[in-house]
Structure 1
Amino acid sequence: MATVPRRSLIAIGVAAVIGVSACGGTASPPSSAAQGPWTWTDDRGKNVSLPQRPRRVVAQSGAAAALWDFGVRPVAVFGPHRLKDGGRDPEVGEVDITKVESIGNVWGEFNVEKYASLQPDLLVAGMYQKDTLWYVPEESAAAVDQIAPSVGVQLSGKPLVEIIEKYGRLAVALGADPEAAPVVEARNRFDAAGAALKTLAAAKPDLKVMIVTGTHESLYVAYLPDHPDIKYWGELGLNIVYPPRPTEREGGFWEMLSWENADKYEADVILVDARSQSMKIEEMARKPTWAMLPAVKAGQLYPWHAAERYSYLGYAKVMEELKANLEKSRDDVVR
């Protein structure tokens, strides 16, 4: 996901067996055989064809986190993965950052020389903008492409479950077992969390929820159709407050409001972007219009995990937390 926010603030987030290929998300059952041709057609329509299954995978942190939950272990990551105190950035999920190489930790940082030295077989990254690999700097894209083939997974404009399933199929194509106990458990947990959230939404139809992120200059209100997670929650029945389609200048995903106009929309609950580079709630509290919002006065502010990895485990945890927070929230704050 974009650093803050996804698109309009980019500057500021089956094992292949012999003779069998995995194309665009169709894959054969796992096999111990790693020899033989391997192919994959990504969401750019780009066909990757290799003499054997890729072993040395480098992935953007969000993609690495998703693949990790499905059983793939990248050799290196780029994008947010290490906090200033040395801890693991939430954007990299369960990835053990002590066991993977780092070739870049912030926007615009991608060490091409180190990437080449790792002798990668494949690079994997999500895509929010068409045909643009997330966190691969534009000025480095050509050089990166010459070192190893890449696979892009489209994130915007796709349903949440479809994105998760795409990463799952890619993981299987890279040798992961789709029936491994942790994967099955996570899938069941995701289904249960979704069902519980749907039940809550039906019990609290008047509970209005808004999702935002902020910078010191502006407040951004999430546009539901462009965010797979928010759209999914809307489909489950949550009453999401969101703006009309963003203008071309805003570039999609958000409506940009000056802080003077931060009270344009009201909600009982506000979910606030929890990414480390996003404006913190304590900082927002200094903005007079923010402080006057009903949800703020009621103390019904909870985190929105905007850069959650697209895996069953990742979103099971998100929905469990969201359900717990909404369950204790009043639905009469906005009158």
Structure 2
Amino acid sequence: IERVIDHNPLITLDDGADLVSTIHSKRTDALPNVKGGTEETTTGVLRLRAMERSGALKYAIIAVNDAYTKYLFDNRYGTGQSTIDGILRATNILLAGKKLVVCGYGWCGRGIALRARGMGANVIVTEVDPLRALEAVMDGFHVMPLSEAAEIGEIFVTATGDINVIRKEHIGKMRDGAILANSGHFNVEISLKDLEELASSKRVIRQNLEEYKLEDGRRLYLLAEGRLVNLAAAEGHPSEVMDMSFANQALSVEHLAKAERLPPKVYPVPKEIDETVARLKLKAMGIVIDKLTDEQKRYLATWEMGTL
């Protein structure tokens, strides 16, 4: 990150807000030259909005993560598939019939839950947001507190963007052989400190698979050292979904470069960019869709053409 900043960037492209936070804290000498930036991840956007609220943000950021053509596809289908891929590569386990607990029902969590159910897992969702919990219930998943899910789950996947989601009180309830994986942004969602303190020994079973033996003899298995399992144990998202995310990044950078310097806030991706990316993706897939007739456009644009 320091070496990137040494190049005195005009526009920053970030994945987790590490670059932006470093510029704002340790490398403030680079701030005068930065016109704007983009952020790719949910966790990064949360951090940047916190900076904006506190008045710490010094240049404009476009929240690429919040584009429809990003989170509805990259987060849901990309993370969903690549997370399952990472778990299978690390363990070669059969998902069918297993109780798989997804911690967090944002778009990444939804994708993981969807793909796990498609492979025959009995999916349990844990949440702190009542709206997302209600969505999970209506989507057909079991919803319960993690303290309860810890007792019955066989595979646990965190996807919250928060710290210490799985911690001592949950680890203490887990059954022998439980598998722990993280698909959130950093290796902080599973409390490695608590896991180390509760373990009497640990050993590497195979690449990206560590066994922690607890004092009472139970064995828990941590994947990829608690890091992003879809990147550390697999190959990340397929290019067929990442192309939309990167297109949003590129077009947002162009927008920032051509526009006048914006006030230091977190901005959405302009609607025209989001729609352009969707149209280009459909074209690349060879898919043609309908268009509104002039009459339909007039009907949607006026209040005078009612139903009476």
Task: Give the TM-score normalised by the residue count of structure 2.
Answer: 0.37
Which TM-score applies when normalising by structure 1? 0.35
- Structure 1 or 2, whichever has the larger Rg, is 2
Bigger fraction of residues in helix: 2
